[in-house]
Amino acid sequence: MGTLAAIDWLVIGGYFLLIFGIAWWVIKQKTDTPSDFFLAGRHLGWFVVGTSIFASNIGSEHLVGLSGSGATDGVAYAHYELHAWCLLVLAWVMIPFYIRSKVFTMPEFLERRFSPLARTLLSCVSLIGYILTKIAVGIFAGGVVISVLMPELSFMGLNSFWIGSMIVIIITGIYTALGGLRAVAYTEAIQAIVLISGSVFVLIYGLKAVGGWGQLVEIVGTDMFNLWKPLVPEGMDITWAPVNTGDQMAWYFNDQYPWLGMLFAAPIVGLWYWTTDQYIVQRALGAPNEQEARRGSIFAAFLKLFPVFIFIIPGIIAFALAKSGMIAEMQQHMIGADGEVIRENAQAAFPMMVAHILPVGIRGLVMAGLLAALMSSLAGVFHASSTLFTMDLYNKLKPKSSDQELVWVGRLAVGAMIIIGLLWIPVIQGSRGLYDYLQGIQSYLAPPIFVVFFMGIFNSRLNREGCLSALIVGIFLGLFRLIVDTPAFLFDDFAYTEGSFLWIVNNIFFQYYSMGMFVICIVVMVAVSYMTKEPDHDKISGLTYNTLTAEDRRESRTSWNWKDVGWSVLLMSIIIAIYMTFTG
């Protein structure tokens, strides 16, 4: 960035030393069994579980992207952060079943509830999804962060994007491969603290620079603090319409989402991600018991509310500083000749705030926070991919593998992820469009997975045939949509014949398509299950609400008290208060 002083670099160096020190201490601990390597020996306390879940979720792309959306659309994207309530569903609904079953992975739970084929299918889909989306996104963010820190860096013809991506991939991969989940979780706990601390300073100094909250509202207007206004803008007929009638792919990248999609489709994705995705749930599986896992999830839900205030609000402040001309460089970069914000330049909101309002030293802490966000997300996906491959695929092919063999296969799997990550760099370098496109894949992955997990737990009559049918139909529908979308994404001059079947599929709002998938998967699962044989309830004992034993219920009940309930009620009260506050 050219604005980092020596003390800033010392702070960044100190961050790396701290991470290396923790990783080294953890690596020296016992990691020679699958439980140790993949689930930290099931010894993670609630604080580490919560901070690790939060750090895994928040990557550099969230930090930069949320600030950019704050500059362009105000608090509109806070809807996604307010899905913190999904973690309460994990805490109170799903965790009792996961902890009771003693599984290593989410696909393994699906095998116990339905069939081995369901486990294999979900593992393969999850692995491919992680490689295509989470690893690619993490690498993209890493390259961008290092490019901001050291734009002039070059070595043997490689620019800063390449060098930054390679450094982060290799460093993160090494401590993940050597230390397993314990190394990932403990470093993530520190990274979450660094990330939140640095971002809080951006908020504090930003409000000071703009003249306080009242001055901020006066400059940007109340609409920027309305959760609903940006989602239903002028031209509402296009926003409401199930099929886009404007630019071929404009709906995919703009911020004008239909409110029905936000109300119904977004929670489907949220519940899939927060309660059934290995990437997140693995931290809870590392807890010693139901109580610690539940409290860690509730704590993570509180942490999930922070981005509204430490990422989105700073983005609004950046817009105010640019619009008012308080900082000329920001005005020149972010505000166009028409006086409106330049959307593509708004992504620089956070780094520009760092460059222009933070004092020396604090700037280095914030940059360390950017790196922390990046490394924690990448470590999470490396380890989740390693666990899925080793426990769900390799161990199924070689069931007699020793504990030491499984651990080494897990480490080799992380190594494979490092290589895949490095191979991704030339594909994604500078490709902002690809980054956004890959992010959208989760909308087509979520519905069938969400359906089979939740329906499977709440209805013991549903069987393996229904589960497999829903998964296959849902995956087919998702892949079909992606195949239809891809030509229009890759080629600017490509367009389906208006009014044709493929044109309609390509132009349905992706949230509406996701909702349609959700309904179809439910119908398929229920219909096929009730047309085929009822499952043996003895084999699924304790895996559904109807098959819980008296002992299961008693153990679960003793794992929580009024404090857990009180914190959960407080969280929901805060979410409701935020919705009531940001209504314009």
Please state, in angstroms and rounded to a whole number, the distance separating the CA atoms of residues 121 and 171.
31
Query: Are residues 417 and 541 part of one domain?
Result: no
Please state, in angstroms and rounded to a whole number, the distance separating the CA atoms of residues 140 and 314.
22
Please state, in angstroms and rounded to a whole number, the distance separating the CA atoms of residues 230 and 76.
6
Please state, in angstroms and rounded to a whole number, the distance separating the CA atoms of residues 177 and 385.
11
User: How many H-runs (helices) and E-runs (strands) does the chain carry?
Assistant: 32, 0
Q: How far is CA 550 from the centre of its chain?
A: 36
User: Both tokens of residue 497?
Assistant: 């014949």
User: Both tokens of residue 561?
Assistant: 């008290």
Number of domains in the chain: 2
Last residue of a domain, one of 379, 401, 428: 428
Percent helix, strand, coil in the chain, to 5, is: 80, 0, 20
Q: What single DSSP character describes residue 5?
A: -
Residue 393: which of 120, 181, 180 has the closest Cα?
Answer: 120
Query: Are residues 138 and 280 part of one domain?
Result: yes
Q: How far is CA 438 from the centre of its chain?
A: 13
Please state, in angstroms and rounded to a whole number, the distance separating the CA atoms of residues 557 and 539.
23
Query: Are residues 509 and 408 part of one domain?
Result: no
Query: Are residues 160 and 99 part of one domain?
Result: yes
The one-digit pLDDT tens for each residue of the chain (584 residues) are 446 678 888 888 888 888 888 888 877 776 667 788 777 778 889 999 999 999 888 876 677 778 888 888 788 778 778 889 999 999 999 999 999 988 999 999 999 999 999 999 999 988 888 887 777 776 766 666 666 666 666 667 676 667 767 777 788 888 788 778 888 888 888 888 888 888 898 899 989 998 888 888 888 888 788 876 544 444 444 444 444 444 433 333 334 556 676 777 788 888 999 999 998 899 999 899 999 999 999 999 999 999 888 888 988 898 888 888 788 777 777 787 777 777 767 777 777 787 788 888 888 888 788 777 777 878 888 888 898 999 888 888 888 888 888 888 888 988 888 887 777 666 655 555 555 566 567 788 889 999 999 999 999 999 999 999 999 999 999 999 988 887 876 676 778 888 888 888 888 878 888 899 999 999 999 999 999 999 998 889 989 999 998 998 998 899 999 999 999 999 999 999 998 888 75
Element (H, E) at 118: helix 116-129
1 inside domain: no
Please state, in angstroms and rounded to a whole number, the distance separating the CA atoms of residues 519 and 534.
22
- Cα-only R_g, the chain: 24
Q: What single DSSP character describes residue 77?
A: G
Query: Are residues 249 and 356 part of one domain?
Result: yes
Q: What single DSSP character describes residue 158?
A: B
578 inside domain: no
Residue 168: which of 192, 193, 139, 194 has the closest Cα?
Answer: 139
Q: How far is CA 28 from the centre of its chain?
A: 30
332 inside domain: yes
Phi, psi of 341 (to 5 degrees): -70, 140
Residue 156, burial from CB neighbour count under 10 angstroms (0-12, 13-18, 19+): exposed
Q: What is the pLDDT of residue 247?
A: 41
Non-local (6+) Cβ contacts of 496 within 8 A are: 488, 502, 503, 506
Residue 389: which of 400, 397, 377 has the closest Cα?
Answer: 397
Query: Are residues 120 and 250 part of one domain?
Result: yes
Q: How many CB atoms lie within 10 A of CB 414?
A: 24
Supply the range of the domain harboring residue 505.
441-548
Query: Are residues 464 and 408 part of one domain?
Result: no
Query: Are residues 507 and 404 part of one domain?
Result: no
User: Both tokens of residue 543?
Assistant: 């895996």
Query: Are residues 322 and 199 part of one domain?
Result: yes
The count of residues in the chain is 584
Phi, psi of 9 (to 5 degrees): -65, -30
562 inside domain: no
Q: What is the pLDDT of residue 9?
A: 84
User: Both tokens of residue 478?
Assistant: 């998702």
496: alpha, beta or left? (left if phi > 0; alpha if psi -120 to 50): beta
Query: Are residues 198 and 61 part of one domain?
Result: yes
582 inside domain: no
Last residue of a domain, one of 403, 428, 453: 428
Phi, psi of 583 (to 5 degrees): -120, 10
Query: Are residues 424 and 491 part of one domain?
Result: no
559 inside domain: no
User: Both tokens of residue 74?
Assistant: 């105000």
Alpha helix (H) ranges present in 74-149? 78-81, 85-89, 95-101, 106-113, 116-129, 136-149
C-alpha distance across the termini of the chain, in Å: 36
Q: What is the pLDDT of residue 257?
A: 57
User: Both tokens of residue 498?
Assistant: 């208006």
Phi, psi of 12 (to 5 degrees): -65, -45
Residue corresponding to tokens 């460093």:
171
358 inside domain: yes
529 inside domain: yes
Please state, in angstroms and rounded to a whole number, the distance separating the CA atoms of residues 246 and 240.
13
CATH code for the domain of 123: 1.20.1730.10
Query: Are residues 462 and 378 part of one domain?
Result: no
